[in-house]
Structure formats: structure tokens, C-alpha cells
A = this chain, B = another copy of it.
């Protein structure tokens, strides 16, 4: 058991934590070096530039740190699920439930993903993960026939929106669980095999 995610130690970690907090509470747009420095208790922004190559570097570090945290929460739950459908459900539900545990990190990550100028590894990685999951699931007969790219896009964005809304005003755990279940149900129905899906 490790006390801290591996990312960084000392100052870097302190700055990253401050940056996440600032993005979570003030938004990406307002997350200037001076605001982050103030939140971190630093007397100047020079410290941040000293430890990070630039704003992108800091933001990337934030994404990495948050992914550590979210991964630590979600991955075991996903791994515990058996089958493509169950894993999709586990991904969605654990992501929504994560809001109850780490609302700041969730808020910040979504804001970062939204405002990322270039599609970061995080964003495209998750997209590729969904696509691949759908593809293998279709091959295994767990999912019906649908465009994996479009579906991956729509599902990740829809998940983010639900999660962001929940994170903006964190509900009770039970309500959070219900929302996760609802969304997972929706996605499972949408991807179930055998449905006609043709024009109504």
C-alpha cells in the first residue's frame, strides 16, 4: 500500500493538488498561475514555472494525477465485472459513484478534457478503450451491430455530462447510485444485441 499516487513528490505534488482544486472551484478559464500559486500558499508564480515546463505541462500533470485517483477507484470495480456488458455497466456506475468520493477531481478532469486544445492522451485513450471494448464485445456476441466510433463518442460525452452535472451539486450516495444505474441501463439497452433499431 502506498500513501501517495506515484506522480510526484513535494512541491510538484503540492502545486498539482492546488491546480486541481482551483480548476474544480473556479473553472479552467480562471485557473491562472497566480490563482494556483495563491491557493498553494506560494508567494509567486515563478515557483510553478520552475517546476513545470509550462502551463500545458502542469495541466498534463493534473490529468495524470486525477487519472491515478480515478483509476484506483474505478479499475477494481471494472475488473471485478465479468463480461462485456457487465464491464460497461461497471465503468459507467463506478464513474458516477466516483463523484461522491472525489468531486473536485471529477469536476477538474471534465473541465480539463473539455478545454483541452488538442485531444490529450486521456481523452483519445478512453475513446479508443470504448471502441475496442465495443468491437470485441460485438465479436463475442455481447453487443449488437452499431458504429463503434459514434457510440464511443456519444457514450463518453454523455457520461461526462451526467458526471459533471452530479459533481456540480453532489447528491446523496443512494441517488448517485441510482443515476449511475439509470445511465448504465440506458447504455446497455442501446447496445444490446437483437434489437431492430431501424426507423420507427
Does A197 sit at the interface, judged by CB under 8 A? yes
Candidates B29, B156, B160, B162; contact of A150 at CB < 8 Å: B162
Would B185 and A197 count as touching, CB distance under 8 A? yes
Q: How far is the CA of A165 from the CA of B151 in the complex (A)?
A: 12
Q: How far is the CA of A187 from the CA of B153 in the complex (A)?
A: 13
Does A146 sit at the interface, judged by CB under 8 A? yes
Among A154, A160, A161: residue with most chain B CB under 10 A: A154
Would B192 and A195 count as touching, CB distance under 8 A? yes
Candidates B147, B156, B188; contact of A197 at CB < 8 Å: B188
Identical copies in the complex:
4
Majority-rule SS of A interface residues: helix
Known: A117-B27, A156-B161, A195-B195. A151 touches B182 (CB 8 A): yes
Would A161 and B151 count as touching, CB distance under 8 A? no
The range of chain A's interface size is 35 or more
A132 CB, min distance to chain B CBs, angstroms: 18
Does A198 sit at the interface, judged by CB under 8 A? yes
Q: How far is the CA of A185 from the CA of B191 in the complex (A)?
A: 10
Candidates B83, B146, B157, B178; contact of A186 at CB < 8 Å: B146
Q: Chain A interface (Cβ within 8 Å of chain B)?
A: 27, 29, 83, 85-86, 89, 114-115, 117, 144, 146-147, 150-151, 153-162, 165, 178-179, 182-183, 185-192, 195, 197-200
Known: A153-B162, A154-B162, A189-B191. 6 other contacts (CB 8 A): A83-B200, A153-B161, A156-B161, A157-B160, A186-B190, A188-B197
